[in-house]
Amino acid sequence: MNDPGAPGQEAAAGAAAPEEEATTVLGEDSFRPDAEALNQSLAEARAKAEENFNQYLRVLAEFDNYRKRAARDLDSAQRYAVERFAQELLGVLDGFELARASAATADARSLLEGQEATYRLLLKAFEKAGVTEIEATGRPFDPERHEAMAAQPSATAAPDTVLETVQKGYLMNGRLLRPARVIVARAP
């Protein structure tokens, strides 16, 4: 059946046979990884992991120390702010004590001068602490800063304008400490 003259055989015989690749057969030991190299890689990986973990613990400790230091600094700043304000008020207290001590012997004029001096000291202490008075009379009613005590008809003032301040209001660094109690104009 092997006829060299057959047409299918001729084409196969005329074509060049592809080069065969050399195949090397490896022994069973060739597929086993080098145990020493693996142990060394494992030791390096463990050392790196331990180093990373220790670095993580240091960062965690530093953050905890920072948090504690920030809390102490905030507490200290709050105490210092109150301390500074209290020191400013000591001059006001001294003025009142002086007025009380001299009340029996001083004349009305010197008592009034002492009150004015004490009042200026108090205003100065408030100013240093950032406490400012809310200007209300003659201004439009602002429910954020004013507390309406009454509404009064007025032919001269525009409706919803503050006619009179019953009790002064104050801000501290722009934040409301106490609203101004006011009488508000309404249409007659």
CA distance 180 to 102: 34
For residue range 21-46, what is the model confidence (pLDDT) as tens digits?
A: 777 776 666 666 688 888 999 999 99
Residue at 5 is within a domain: no
Max Cα–Cα distance, the chain, nearest Å: 152
β-bridge mates for residue 182, sequence order? 148, 165
- pLDDT value for 37: 86
Q: Distance of CA 148 to CAs 39, 75, 133, 152, 153, Å? A: 83, 37, 17, 11, 14
Residue at 48 is within a domain: yes
Which domain, by its residues, includes 75?
A: 34-129
What is the H or E stretch that residue 132 is in?
strand 131-134
Which residues have a Cβ under 8 Å from the Cβ of 102 and sit 6 or more positions away? 110, 111, 114
- pLDDT value for 96: 87
For residue range 109-119, what is the model confidence (pLDDT) as tens digits?
A: 888 888 999 99
Output the six-digit token pair for 9: 């055989």
In the chain, the number of structural domains is 2
CA nearest to 172, candidates 142, 135, 129, 136 = 129
Task: Indicate the pTM of the whole model.
Answer: 0.57
CA distance 101 to 109: 15
DSSP string, 54-85: HHHHHHHHHHHHHHHHHHHHHHHHHHHHHHHH
Residues 46 and 99 in one domain: yes
- pLDDT value for 107: 87
Residue at 17 is within a domain: no
Residue at 183 is within a domain: yes
Given a cut of 50, the residues of the chain with pLDDT beneath it are: 11
CATH number of the CATH domain containing 162: 2.30.22.10
